[in-house]
Amino acid sequence: MGGADSLHRIQSGLNHKNARTIILAEYIYEGLFILNSNRYGRDPEGVAGSIQSLIEKQEGTVLVSRLWEERRLAYPINGQRKGTYWLTYFRMDGEKIADLNQQANRDDDLLRHLVIRIDPRIADALISHAQQTVKQSEPAERPARPAEGQKELEDVSVATTLEAE
C-alpha cells in the first residue's frame, strides 16, 4: 500500500505565475454498515453493491468489503429487529465523508452506519486481515463423491459401531 495517507497535487491555471496547487488528502476509512436483513435476504448482491456504489459516487475506492455477521439488534430500528452487519475498508478524500454520510442516511437498505478514519500505522494490518477472512469464507470446492467401495466401507463401520452398542 505504501502508506495510508496519499496526497494528490492538482495544478490549475494556464501559466506558471497563475498556477496554484490544491492538496487533496486521501485517507483509509473503516465503514460498518447495518443492513436491512429482509432486503439483504432477498437480494444480497444488490444490497451489498449499494454500499460500494455509495463509496464510488464520492470518488472513493473500496479496498475490502465483506459480510461480518447477522444479529439481533439491541432495539428495533425502522421496525427491524435483526440487522446484517457489513464491514468495508475504503480510500476516500476526507472532504467527501460528509457527503457519504448524507447519502447513507437516505439509503433505505441501510439502517445505521459508522465511518471512522483508520490510523495509517495499522491500516495495512487491518486490510490484510479482512482480505484473509474474505478468502477463508469463500465456499471451497465440493468434495468428490466417494467411490462405491469407500461407501460400502463406511456402511460396514457404521453397522459395526451399532452392533457394539
Which CATH number does the domain housing residue 111 bear?
3.30.70.60
68 found inside a domain:
yes
- 97-106 and 44-57 are packed helices; what angle lies between their axes, rounded to 10 degrees? 150
Q: Rounded to whole angstroms, how far apart are CA atoms 131 and 73?
A: 26
Tell me if 20 is assigned to some domain: no
At 133 the pLDDT is 77
Q: Residue written as cell 427491524?
A: 80
Domain-embedded: residue 155: no
Q: Taking a C-beta distance cutoff of 8 angstroms, is the pair 142, 67 a contact? A: no
Residue 2 inside a domain? The answer is: no
Helical H segments across 20-147, by residue range: 37-42, 44-57, 97-106, 120-137
Nearest to 53 by CA among 104, 102, 1: 104
The pLDDT assigned to 141 comes to: 46
Count other C-beta atoms under 10 Å from residue 103's C-beta.
16
Q: What is the DSSP letter of 59?
A: T
Question: Is residue 81 situated within a structural domain?
Answer: yes
- Going by their DSSP bridges, the two strands 6-12 and 20-36 should be labelled as antiparallel
Our count of domains for the chain comes to 1
pLDDT of residue 110: 95
Q: Answer yes or no: is 13 within a domain.
A: no
Question: Which domain covers residue 60, as residue numbers?
Answer: 27-138
Query: In this predicted structure, what is the pLDDT of residue 142?
Result: 43
Q: How far apart are CA 53 and CA 37, in angstroms?
A: 19
**Does residue 146 sit within a domain?**
no
Q: Residues in the chain with pLDDT < 50?
A: 1-15, 140-165
CA 113 from chain center: how many Å? 12
The one-letter code for the residue type at 66 is: R
Instruction: Tell me phi and psi for residue 61, to 5 degrees.
Output: -125, 125
In a domain, 66, yes or no: yes
DSSP-derived 3-state class of residue 1? coil
